[in-house]
Structure 1
Amino acid sequence: MPLRTLPLLALAACALRPADDFQASATEATSTSAAATSTGPITPTSEPATGITASPPLPTTTEIEPSTGPSTTGPGDTTSPFIVPPDAGDWLECDQWLEDCPAGEKCMPYASEESVFWDSTKCVPVAPNPDGVGEPCEPIGSWIGGEDTCAEHSMCWTEDFDALAGTCVAFCDGSPDAPTCAPPATLCTVSGSGVLSLCLPMCDPLVQNCSNGDLCIPDPNGSGGFICVLDASGEEGQAFDPCEYANACDPGLYCVLPELATECAPELLGCCLPFCDLAAANTCPGQDQVCLPWLEEGQAQPGFEDVGICGLPMP
């Protein structure tokens, strides 16, 4: 039975947590920059995603840890730090979807004063001879300061926090209600209370084919596809380990509710369990576990119909 039909499905979106090294690097970069406005960056989904409708039972406060984002204060993010960002409405100077800045400027996300994640937008000058999407780039000042060397309608996304180097990633096209991505093999991922709207690389969770040691996990926006995010698992994240964020498990595993394995303590917020191939022999490590469909038939992106998650059979 598809996990989407399982009980406890109506849970909050999974958030991403920024990796500890990203947090440390961001803090250092910010402290040495006169233009810095905060002390830590976040990762590709820097606050709880708001539209997740993933099929498997997910921890109610699971978000993306600053391994794809910045701070670590508790469960509740799936696209960045463990911090739930404040309402960004009062800090939005421009609209990334419309690119409504004056000529020669672009609309960029940045961290407002005393913030550690991208929670606002502002118009900034486009760098001379800017880098194009897919080309190497650098942030100017800090990762969360809002300025970089990328062209209009794109931003520098992290690959090497210590070196302050990255690759230009396109912002999403279309609208918040109907997002699209121009670069091939990418998905629009919106986070940071809508401040971040990035076209991130698609990947295969059964192969874990992301670069730079990133994780391949379900798209936080519920598209039925999978995207690459930073690995925030650290020394933990093995099968049956506790977790609180979507990117807090090792490659090939994902943070879901503990009810899916007898080996997971029932009081846990989340538990790391492996993805599995519905078309292959059962390799699930838990007692009585089987490979459960990740999404209902017809809900998955083409090519991902056989993706499942290890779990106990559902009634």
Structure 2
Amino acid sequence: MRRITLSLISLLLACGPDTVTADGGSAGSTSDDGTTAASPSASTSASAGTSTSTDGADETSPTSAAFVDDPDLGQGSSCEMLAQDCPAGLKCMPYAASGGSSWDTTRCFPVVEDPAQPGEPCTVEGSNVSGIDTCAIGSMCFYVDHDTLEGICVEFCLGDYVSPYCEDPGTHCVVFSDGLPTVCLPTCHPLEDDCPEGQSCYSALDSFECYPEVSRETGAIGEACEHLNGCDPTTFCAAAESVPECAGSIGCCSSFCTIGDDSACLPGQTCQPWFEPGTAPTGFDELGACALP
């Protein structure tokens, strides 16, 4: 799979050292070698310097065909993605109304015959921000490959935007920029190899999700990075000031670690808690990140 590009801003998170995190306004722009995903912008924590945006739109402009102006919703009106309030035969999908590379609103689109279910392969038309895909209602085509336009169907979160949730305990509700989209992605532990084949575990602010691995020449500890999946497994893209002699303008790769054990860290770094005391999810109490004090 190809690199997931990031559109980054500085965002102070609630744990550990300084972080480089996702842009709350640009979920959806990938580079020429980019794989689809999008940038989480939930106001939650993830402390040790991660590049946690997975921007995910193909640079190809979305197609203009196949959207529906439904009179029940009003001409040009957006629909509610979590409520899926479109008429029968249609589903509410995020798409790029501006023709750009970021999801910026929602609309009702036709559901294809014999649609793919969550977890099954899917395709998009034009780009992954076109709103047109082969997934069933309540889901969208995600992890879309730039060249093949193929991906995997993932479910939208349930509930509302105040407290969205996922029914599958093995997934986590990820709220992307401006809530477009809000999807359930597989959770993982960065120190364990528990993602599906071809994916690795990356930080998404208050949780960890599986995202496609990337073929790259860099990604080792200490090397420059700009992408969520731009570092090797069990490492992350840390803020430049967290890594000694970091030459990256945005950040450099650093290692996850077990609190109290600095053996995975570079000289001068210590293993610092990833989560603030009392905020770590079950099983993550001892998770740390190598960073300069």
Decide which of 167, 170, 173 is 1:185's aligned counterpart.
Answer: 170
Structure 1, unpaired ranges of 5+: 23-41, 72-90
Q: 1:6/1:290 Cα in 2 relative to 1: closer, same or farther (>3 Å)?
A: closer
Q: Which amino acid aligns with 1:134?
A: G
Q: Which amino acid aligns with 2:107?
A: K
Preserved CA contact (<8 Å) 1:126 1:151: yes
Preserved CA contact (<8 Å) 2:144 2:152: yes
Given the alignment of the two structures, is residue 49 of structure 1 paired with residue 31 of structure 2, yes or no?
Answer: no
| Equivalences for residues 155-304 of structure 1 within 5 A | 155-158=140-143, 160-220=145-205, 222=206, 225-231=207-213, 234-265=216-247, 268-278=249-259, 281-304=261-284
Q: Which amino acid aligns with 2:189?
A: D
1:305 corresponds in structure 2 to: 285
Q: Which amino acid aligns with 1:270?
A: G
Preserved CA contact (<8 Å) 1:109 1:121: yes
- Please list every run of at least 4 consecutive aligned residues from structure 1 whose deviation after the TM superposition is greater than 6 angstroms: none
Provide the C-alpha distance between the structure 2 equivalents of 1:18 and 1:207, rounded to a whole number of angstroms: 27
Q: Secondary structure at the match of 1:193?
A: helix
Given the alignment of the two structures, is residue 125 of structure 1 paired with residue 95 of structure 2, yes or no?
Answer: no
Q: 1:251/1:182 Cα in 2 relative to 1: closer, same or farther (>3 Å)?
A: same
Given the alignment of the two structures, is residue 64 of structure 1 paired with residue 50 of structure 2, yes or no?
Answer: no
Decide which of 14, 18, 26 is 2:22's aligned counterpart.
Answer: 14
- Alpha-carbon RMSD across the aligned residues, in angstroms, is 2.9
Q: 1:95/1:232 Cα in 2 relative to 1: closer, same or farther (>3 Å)?
A: farther
Q: CA deviation at 1:127?
A: 1.5
Q: CA deviation at 1:208?
A: 4.0
Provide the C-alpha distance between the structure 1 equivalents of 2:127 and 2:240, rounded to a whole number of angstroms: 38
Q: Secondary structure at the match of 1:180?
A: coil
Q: Secondary structure at the match of 2:162?
A: coil
| Equivalences for residues 65-144 of structure 1 within 5 A | 66=55, 68-70=56-58, 93-144=78-129
Q: CA deviation at 1:212?
A: 4.6
Q: 1:300/1:182 Cα in 2 relative to 1: closer, same or farther (>3 Å)?
A: same
Please list the CA deviations of residues 63-99 of structure 1 after superposition, one character each: whole Å capped at 9, or x if unmatched.
Answer: 5255x5546xxxxxxxxxxxxxxxxxxx861110221
2:70 corresponds in structure 1 to: none
Q: CA deviation at 1:19?
A: 5.8
Preserved CA contact (<8 Å) 1:275 1:310: yes
Q: Which amino acid aligns with 1:294?
A: W
Provide the C-alpha distance between the structure 1 equivalents of 2:219 and 2:209, rounded to a whole number of angstroms: 18
Give the structure-1-normalised TM-score: 0.71
Provide the C-alpha distance between the structure 2 equivalents of 1:202 and 1:302, rounded to a whole number of angstroms: 12
Q: 1:54/1:206 Cα in 2 relative to 1: closer, same or farther (>3 Å)?
A: same
Provide the C-alpha distance between the structure 2 equivalents of 1:130 and 1:277, rounded to a whole number of angstroms: 43
Preserved CA contact (<8 Å) 2:157 2:164: yes
Q: CA deviation at 1:102?
A: 1.2
Preserved CA contact (<8 Å) 1:19 1:233: no
Preserved CA contact (<8 Å) 1:233 1:247: no
Provide the C-alpha distance between the structure 1 equivalents of 2:108 and 2:277, rounded to a whole number of angstroms: 43
